[in-house]
Structure 1
Amino acid sequence: MSSTEEIYDSPIWQPFTQMKTAPIPLKVVKGQGVMLELEDKRQIMDCISSWWVTIHGHGHPILAEALYKQAQALEHVIFTGFTHEPAEQLARKLLQHLPKSLRRVFFSDNGSTAMEVALKMAYQYWFNQGESDRTTFISFEGGYHGDTIGAMSIAGNSPWDQPFHRLMFSTELVPFPATFDNDADVEVREAQTLEILTRLLKQNPTRYAGLFIEPLVQGAGGMRVCRPQFLQALGNLAHSFGVLVIYDEVMTGFGRTGELFACLKAETAPDIICLSKGLSGGCLPLAVTVATEDIYRAFYSDDVSKTFFHGHSYTGNPLACATGVASLELLEQNPNFRNLEQQHRCYLKKYLPDHPKIDKVRTCGTIAAMDIVTDSQSGYFNAIAPILKQRFLAEGFLLRPLGNTLYLMPPYCITSEQLESIYQAIRRVLDTII
């Protein structure tokens, strides 16, 4: 039986995978720190934190202990009409680190759902105040906010959204002023985007409910970076027209940009922020959507029809919340994420200076990214991605390029020597494809 037939016969349908042509999935039996152990005893270094969630590394004893203790007390309870200490504690700890204007925490269980909550919350905020014509959202080209219909609708024409366009609602898309190291034209692109936005808002000042953006770094769209100065100007512009600003920090939250949250690094305060991925340290599905008091008050009423009718069976799960508290305490006590950008820059300069196969190098906190130069068009379906993925696996590294964009997003427990070994492997692999 061929490898493709073996995958086809498996009962598991894997995400983002063409099951007919994909290689046989590797079976992982154990994770420890930055390393994964496969069934055949091979060791693979997890250079992308397993889709950006295991911020402290695998098998962290403090997270495991928090999960174990909570499981002995309360594994789950309905979260409407009831509450529990892990959720209360996590909400209060989060608010201590977020901009002071963000005061109300709504729990859910994944990033896409956190975005759906924000969409509904932003629209109903206006609806409850009699402004039901504010039905349109603004978002950015290249953005990615999840895989539900609503989250796809506010994305920036992602290539995997094509079959669903007839189901999606329309959104105003504006250019994302992506930048990179030594970019001389970034201010021009920022000004152009702000001009487009200003024109839209002036033409229809009461049409827009909110503006969605991944602050500082667009993730799945290719690790595209923007500057804090742009986010500051963007927030001022949107608020001058009364439009809500919604930050998708599902990926950028919990240290990824070099600060605990991108909004802190950019010195901005959104009206709504969505958090997930690293929220539980990679242990369990967990998400929150945090809003200002002003938004909350639009729902706080004697009129039951103004209720925010949204929820899920696992909303505020105690096990997930307990690991979230432990994860946040680890970030408070061990802020190693603040040191990784300097290390990235050091190894980029040491191993990949002016490499002919690399273009548009960019770094932001714990994230480093670069475009691989190929003869094909840049983008998610660039044929270099599966080639690089297999080459790196053969070297013992889990790197999962986004098309021709190669990026690193390691767990914060990675040592300087381990990080250096990734850059050494990148150099070796790139030298073989020249």
Structure 2
Amino acid sequence: MRQVGSVLWPKLRTLQIYGANTGVGKTVVSTLLLKRLKKHLPDYDVRYVKPVSTGPLTEADNRGVLSKTLYQFDEPLSPHIAARTAKEPIDDQSILLRLDEELSSYASGKDGFVVVETAGGVLSPAPSGNTQADFYRPLRLPVSLVGDHKLGGIATTISAWESLHVRGYDVGSVMLFEESRYDNHTYLKDYFADRGILTVSLPPPPAPATSLSDDEKQMSQYYADACTVPALERVITQALEAHTTRLTQLQSLPARAEKTIWHPFMQHTERTERNILAIDSAYGDYFQTYQSLPPSESQTRQRFERESHVLKPAFDGSASWWTQGLGHGNPKLALTAAHAAGRYGHVMFGGAAHEPAVGLAEMLLRNVGNPRLSRVFYTDNGSTGMEVAVKMALKAASKRYGWDAGMERGEGRGDQVRILGLKGSYHGDTMGTMDCSEPSVYNRKVEWYKGKGHWFDFPLVKMKEGKWLVEPPQGMEDVFGPPQEFENLDQVFELPDRGAVAEKYERYLKNELERLAAQGIKFGALIMEPVILGAGGMLFADPLFQHTLVKVVREHAPSLYQTQGPTTEQPDELSWRGIPVVFDEVFTGLYRLGRFSSSSFLQTAPDISVHAKLLTGGLLPLCTTLASESIFDAFLSNDKTDALLHGHSYTAHAVGCDIAKFSLQTMMEMDRGGKWNGFKKQWAIPTTGISGLRGKRATVATALAENWSMWSKDFVTEISYEEKVESLFALGSVLAISMKDPAGSGYTSTAATGLRDQLLAGTDVADSVIHSRVLGNVLYLMASMTTTRETLESIEEVVKAAIK
């Protein structure tokens, strides 16, 4: 599928004419501008395009320049009504593709300038019913707004500009007719000057004559006279300068960044201007990127000279580092943010409450599906949210079991409390969360790091040559047995049907805990990323192992946790037992894996869970740490120093909370409304493949898969047979491909970098590229939760070709 994105050429200047309302004179203003362009730029190829026009063609459409109307409807009605008479439905994508092709055809050859006129007002409907501002947004053309000169026109003009501005358009100028009675242009000139926008007034056209011939004569004279006014020259100059500035800024971004930016997760001895991606904007699933590679290296010289496209759509393969949920440039998200910013800005949250924060907390607790959780603590990102979770868990365990930090009495560090977790875990870069991970490339060389825990190795879920496998860690086959083979992914998650393996896991875990307890080690929490360990290398943990680990730590006698004296433990069914269980759902939660909460895959409920990433639809940082009442109670006393003394200046910022409410509500409606059923059906288990499932689920499984991916089953299966691929998996919006590396896997492997670079370089036949990230020998790709099947099909074809 061809991808339409922002358009920008070195030699072709574009200007889109929007109107503040209908009847404000867009056609007259466009005609004046075009006539002035012909005089001001006599060597330019000046053209006019009207993508959609309603009503019969009139003389006004012939402006003495090359003009084109792409879709003409005879009825003088709103485009969404006029389009009903079309022989075939006209969708937004078809119109944008045709407009993009039309503009591209003007881009080669000599310098050019194209005026693109819209129909109606900024928020008037397009043929599909979508507003024009949203309909044209993928192209993000530079805009000149024709203001309203009539009574009430000040309000409509400002409203129109705000509608364009909040959607990410660059409005460079405002033009409107002079009207002495209302003097709108004087007010608007001052108003927009404060916002860096040129505002000019133009002579009004004459009133219509009584005869058509007289009207033609007086309009011809009007155009001849009015097109000479200096105001038009200023608009043209502004447009030309804005075009040059945009090009210059884009082309200079990599060099400027190389001199000033310290990038995360990058060895800067390997960084150059050439491998810094300049992003002009983003929309839907795509970045609009500046292609800095010379044409001889990225595409053929002939194609480069033919198209000369500065910007290229790049599929956002990391879902903007795992946060993207509702697509870039989502106007509803932007409007939600604008409303909250206008209503609240930011208000402090110490001892206060506001509806966005309280409403979001209630929504999370109501839908997370965990009856244990009753309290929500706000932070600003996943790492700090996990830092709070660690504080909560260790405090609760220390209080119940009588451990003492000893700091108040000057007794050194007192009792040393550690955590239990999994190898490959990564919970963030704050001091506390870093110590909750085993030594790794992320923390081993950090001076203050001291790993404070024990991390279990665990079996991995992966697909190899069309088969789902659960493989034990290397060297632990005698403990866990040989690899387990499954016909489908649902069988992996049928935990009750895997009782024999569960017994092996439980026996191993109990023995390990008893061994550790004999060493006098105190454990205050179990911390895990449910199902998939993200930054550790996209490791798909056997859900049965994680389920069993939770079961074992909760059922162990308190003596194994090194209690000192009598314990205060009197838990009810919702209180934590053994030690508090913390689930880091920062990456895997909130529909990233296809479900609201990833803990449901493990058929167990944590005492504390942390949620971020998809929480705000990819717009703002925000994190929530959810805790049980028994965890909350551990901080209650008459001494303030026993409280959870943790917070941020932007705790529960209203803008982020309001966006999160909208984002979650949207995704829940998508789930309940069956928006993902097409993906679920392609992973449905055929009748012949349900022998391993319990009968009560067989009929459901044949219709919609419970464990599914947005990436197609056929694609994943086909790739699993490729010689270069060690294994892969797909779940929810996540696809992870492990490439073979004779030198060994891990973060320092470079086995996947070649595939990453090839996807970004693109091909001579592809109109877009794929931006992706690698974790050692693993290349992963993610969709947003609004990505279409058609988009992913096109991405899958490119990935297959690159691997082959």
In structure 2, C-alpha distance between the alignment counterparts of 1:246 and 1:96, rounded to whole Å: 19
Q: What corresponds to 1:425 in structure 2?
A: 798
Q: Does 1:180 align with 2:462?
A: yes
Q: 1:331 to 1:68 in 2, by over 3 A?
A: same
Secondary structure at the residue paired with 2:445?
helix
Q: Alignment identity in percent?
A: 32
| 8 A Cα contact 2:462 2:470, kept in partner | no
Q: CA deviation at 1:326?
A: 0.6
Q: What corresponds to 1:45 in structure 2?
A: 315
Q: Does 1:209 align with 2:524?
A: yes
In structure 2, C-alpha distance between the alignment counterparts of 1:56 and 1:288, rounded to whole Å: 19
Q: 1:349 to 1:116 in 2, by over 3 A?
A: closer
| 8 A Cα contact 1:87 1:318, kept in partner | yes
| 8 A Cα contact 2:720 2:727, kept in partner | no
| 8 A Cα contact 2:734 2:782, kept in partner | yes
Q: How does 1:269-284 map to 2 (within 5 A)?
A: 269-284=605-620
Q: Deviations over 1:231-257 (max 9, x none)?
A: 322221111131111101000011112
In structure 1, C-alpha distance between the alignment counterparts of 2:579 and 2:272, rounded to whole Å: 46
Q: Deviations over 1:173-209 (max 9, x none)?
A: 1113222132155564876664453234334288110
Secondary structure at the residue paired with 1:412?
coil
In structure 2, C-alpha distance between the alignment counterparts of 1:180 and 1:394, rounded to whole Å: 28
Q: What corresponds to 1:388 in structure 2?
A: 755
In structure 1, C-alpha distance between the alignment counterparts of 2:718 and 2:617, rounded to whole Å: 31
Secondary structure at the residue paired with 1:163?
coil
Q: What corresponds to 1:197 in structure 2?
A: 509
In structure 2, C-alpha distance between the alignment counterparts of 1:15 and 1:86, rounded to whole Å: 31
In structure 2, C-alpha distance between the alignment counterparts of 1:422 and 1:46, rounded to whole Å: 11
Secondary structure at the residue paired with 1:75?
coil
In structure 2, C-alpha distance between the alignment counterparts of 1:207 and 1:81, rounded to whole Å: 35
- Structure 2 letter corresponding to 1:111: G
| 8 A Cα contact 1:385 1:400, kept in partner | no
Q: CA deviation at 1:349?
A: 4.7
Q: 1:9 to 1:183 in 2, by over 3 A?
A: closer
In structure 2, C-alpha distance between the alignment counterparts of 1:138 and 1:349, rounded to whole Å: 34
Structure 1 range deviating more: 382-391 or 82-91 = 382-391
Q: What corresponds to 2:446 in structure 1?
A: 164
Q: Does 1:403 align with 2:652?
A: no
| 8 A Cα contact 2:720 2:728, kept in partner | no
In structure 2, C-alpha distance between the alignment counterparts of 1:306 and 1:355, rounded to whole Å: 57
Q: What corresponds to 1:33 in structure 2?
A: 284
Q: Does 1:104 align with 2:353?
A: no
Q: Deviations over 1:94-151 (max 9, x none)?
A: 0011201111100000111011111111111133343334711011111111112222
| 8 A Cα contact 2:346 2:654, kept in partner | yes
In structure 1, C-alpha distance between the alignment counterparts of 2:522 and 2:461, rounded to whole Å: 30
Q: What corresponds to 1:288 in structure 2?
A: 624
Q: 1:317 to 1:351 in 2, by over 3 A?
A: same
Q: 1:385 to 1:22 in 2, by over 3 A?
A: farther
What do you get for the CA RMSD once the two structures are aligned? 2.4
Secondary structure at the residue paired with 1:20?
helix
- Structure 2 letter corresponding to 1:197: L
Q: 1:254 to 1:18 in 2, by over 3 A?
A: same
- Structure 1 letter corresponding to 2:281: K
Q: What corresponds to 2:339 in structure 1?
A: 69
- Structure 2 letter corresponding to 1:43: P
Secondary structure at the residue paired with 1:361?
strand
In structure 1, C-alpha distance between the alignment counterparts of 2:786 and 2:590, rounded to whole Å: 14
| 8 A Cα contact 1:30 1:37, kept in partner | yes
Q: Deviations over 1:326-371 (max 9, x none)?
A: 1001111112467363552424256425111112222222222221
Q: CA deviation at 1:426?
A: 1.5
Q: How does 1:209-358 map to 2 (within 5 A)?
A: 209-241=524-556, 242-335=578-671, 336=675, 339=679, 341-349=708-716, 351-358=718-725
Q: Deviations over 1:18-63 (max 9, x none)?
A: 2232243212121111011124311111122110101111111221
Q: CA deviation at 1:168?
A: 2.2
- Structure 2 letter corresponding to 1:17: M
Q: What corresponds to 1:155 in structure 2?
A: 437
| 8 A Cα contact 1:231 1:266, kept in partner | yes
TM-score normalised by structure 2 residue count: 0.51
In structure 1, C-alpha distance between the alignment counterparts of 2:545 and 2:444, rounded to whole Å: 30
Secondary structure at the residue paired with 1:344?
coil
In structure 2, C-alpha distance between the alignment counterparts of 1:75 and 1:344, rounded to whole Å: 39
In structure 2, C-alpha distance between the alignment counterparts of 1:87 and 1:250, rounded to whole Å: 18
TM-score normalised by structure 1 residue count: 0.92
Residue ranges of structure 2 left out of the alignment (5+ in a row) = 1-251, 291-309, 405-414, 473-479, 483-500, 557-577, 681-707, 763-768
Q: What corresponds to 2:12 in structure 1?
A: none
| 8 A Cα contact 2:460 2:470, kept in partner | no
Secondary structure at the residue paired with 2:458?
coil
Q: 1:78 to 1:349 in 2, by over 3 A?
A: closer
| Structure label with greater radius of gyration | 2
In structure 2, C-alpha distance between the alignment counterparts of 1:342 and 1:272, rounded to whole Å: 27
In structure 1, C-alpha distance between the alignment counterparts of 2:775 and 2:357, rounded to whole Å: 35
In structure 2, C-alpha distance between the alignment counterparts of 1:233 and 1:390, rounded to whole Å: 40
- Structure 1 letter corresponding to 2:282: G
| 8 A Cα contact 1:136 1:207, kept in partner | yes
| 8 A Cα contact 1:285 1:320, kept in partner | yes
Q: What corresponds to 2:397 in structure 1?
A: 126
In structure 2, C-alpha distance between the alignment counterparts of 1:247 and 1:228, rounded to whole Å: 13
